[in-house]
């Protein structure tokens, strides 16, 4: 019988066996989970089950530590920065003993003032990537770590006194035109480029002169998040903007041709100070580059101009229309649209039926 929770006094216990592929791989357990809630008991059962399955599959081998697994992982500079505090916490711990809840609890310990989304990005994702990479190399079992639940996110937001997942305000042509009146030429060109192509700021920053083919009205958008680099055609207004933008080596970089960048910034953080300054000078709300560009493109195409989702997704580099709809489009002028739609429907119905909503003569 698979492990199941049951209440015994104030605490929850578990009894049964751990099964794998429909057959028991352990003896019969009857143990206290130490939890006062059924949810906590089920978490204990899940973790115990994973541990026993790992022991069944790979035996008692415990030599690979998390620090060893990190050495097997080819981390980029950003991931390496996240891994440093994790190695300090988990470095000497055998990978097979690292439980999902142990990892999730590290978010609160290491970053108590941040949101659960940041915990996922800075803790859960790096640990999962390192261990599963070691698994792919045949060094250890894989690990499955579920993200933080909605109740956990809300509780952490309350504890830190700040809401997470605040809906982004997307850019618009009105905002962009005002921004460009007060922005420097590189900030101005970057904002226009992202808004007209849907490129992420990190992709735009990495672009070199080799990514431009302005004679054929084309640019190459660098790879990002599993998507390969791709060439797209761009409107003539953007061609003119890029043709008149001198290529630039970021400040502090070696003065060599291979370091030339289209927009002249060293990283995605490079434009932020000037971006804020331009917003303040223009007297407009601050909209961060990603929201002004990629969100602005999605909103402009899909919501304001009603371009079909397939076309928007293909041009903007979204894997499918679901992500575009869920994340990159936003409710806008809600009441006005609903009121207009109601009036339109009423007029159409009155014409069709010959009846009026307002009765007369009574």
Q: Are 270 and 206 in contact (CB under 8 A)?
A: no
**Residue linked to tokens 């952490």:** 156
Look at residue 246 and tell me whether its pLDDT is greater than 90.
yes
pLDDT band with cut points at 50, 70 and 90 for residue 169: confident
Closest CA to 20 of 47, 54, 43: 54
Please compute the mean of the pLDDT values over residues 271-292 and round it to a whole number: 95
Q: Which tokens belong to 307?
A: 């371009």
Please compute the mean of the pLDDT values over residues 182-196 and round it to a whole number: 96
Look at residue 55 and tell me whether its pLDDT is greater than 80.
no
DSSP 298-333: HIIIIIIS---HHHHHHHHT-SSHHHHHHHS----S
pTM score, two decimals? 0.63
What pLDDT sits at residue 144?
87
What pLDDT sits at residue 187?
97
CA atoms within 13 A on the CB side of 277: 10
Q: Which tokens belong to 53?
A: 């399955």
Torsions phi, psi for 344 (to 5 deg): -60, -45
Maximum alpha-carbon separation in the chain: 91
**Residue linked to tokens 């005002």:** 178
DSSP 94-119: BGGG--HHHHHHHHHHH-TTS-HHHH
- What is the pairing mode between strands 4-8 and 23-24? unpaired
Look at residue 268 and tell me whether its pLDDT is greater than 60.
yes
Domain assignments of the chain as residue spans, ordered by start: 1-59, 61-166, 173-327
Q: Which tokens belong to 12?
A: 């929850």
Measured distance CA(67)–CA(107) in Å, rounded: 18
Burial 217-232 (b: 16+ CB within 10 A, else e): eebbbbeeeeeeeeeb
Look at residue 331 and tell me whether its pLDDT is greater than 90.
no
Closest CA to 188 of 281, 78, 109, 122: 281
Please compute the mean of the pLDDT values over residues 223-237 and round it to a whole number: 88
Determine the 3-state secondary structure of 21 from DSSP.
coil
Lowest mean pLDDT among 26-30, 113-117, 186-190: 26-30
What pLDDT sits at residue 360?
63
Measured distance CA(308)–CA(289) in Å, rounded: 24
Query: Burial level of 72, CB count in 10 A (0-12/13-18/19+)?
Result: middle
Select the more confidently predicted residue: 141 or 217.
217
pLDDT tens profile 72-117:
999 888 899 999 999 999 999 999 889 999 999 999 999 999 999 9
> What is the third-level CATH fold of 173-327?
hpI Integrase; Chain A (1.10.443)
Please compute the mean of the pLDDT values over residues 109-128 and round it to a whole number: 94
Look at residue 62 and tell me whether its pLDDT is greater than 60.
no
Burial 285-303 (b: 16+ CB within 10 A, else e): eebbbbbbbbbbbbbbbbb
């Amino acid at each position: 019988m698979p492990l199941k929770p049951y209440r015994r006094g104030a605490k929850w216990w578990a009894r049964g066996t751990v099964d794998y592929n429909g057959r028991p791989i352990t003896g019969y357990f009857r143990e206290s989970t130490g939890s006062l809630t059924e949810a906590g008991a089920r978490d204990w059962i899940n973790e115990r089950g994973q541990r026993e399955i790992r022991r069944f599959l790979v035996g008692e081998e415990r030599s690979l530590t998390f620090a060893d697994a990190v050495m097997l992982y080819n981390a980029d500079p950003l991931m390496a920065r996240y891994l440093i505090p994790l190695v300090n916490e988990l470095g000497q711990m055998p990978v097979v003993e690292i439980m999902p809840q142990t990892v999730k609890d590290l978010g609160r310990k290491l970053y108590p003032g941040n949101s659960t989304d940041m915990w996922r990005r800075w803790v859960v994702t790096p640990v999962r990537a390192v261990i599963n990479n070691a698994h792919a190399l045949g060094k250890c079992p894989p690990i499955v770590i579920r993200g933080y639940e909605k109740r956990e996110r809300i509780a952490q937001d309350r504890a830190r006194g700040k809401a997470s997942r605040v809906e982004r305000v997307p850019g618009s042509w009105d905002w962009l035109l005002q921004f460009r009146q007060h922005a420097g030429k590189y900030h101005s060109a970057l904002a226009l480029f992202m808004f007209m192509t849907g490129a992420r700021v990190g992709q735009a920053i990495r672009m070199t002169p080799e990514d431009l083919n302005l004679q054929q009205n084309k640019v190459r958008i660098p790879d990002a998040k599993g998507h390969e680099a791709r060439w797209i055609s761009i409107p003539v207004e953007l061609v003119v903007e890029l043709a008149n933008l001198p290529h630039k080596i970021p400040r502090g970089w070696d003065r060599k041709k291979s370091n030339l960048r289209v927009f002249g910034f060293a990283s995605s953080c490079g434009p932020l100070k000037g971006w804020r300054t331009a917003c303040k000078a223009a007297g407009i709300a601050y909209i961060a580059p990603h929201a002004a560009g990629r969100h602005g493109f999605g909103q402009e195409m899909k919501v304001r101009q009603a371009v079909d989702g397939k076309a928007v997704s293909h041009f903007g580099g979204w894997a499918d229309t679901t992500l575009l709809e869920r994340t990159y489009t936003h409710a806008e002028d809600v009441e006005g649209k609903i009121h207009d739609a109601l009036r339109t429907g009423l007029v159409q119905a009155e014409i069709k039926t010959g009846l009026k909503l307002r009765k007369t003569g009574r």
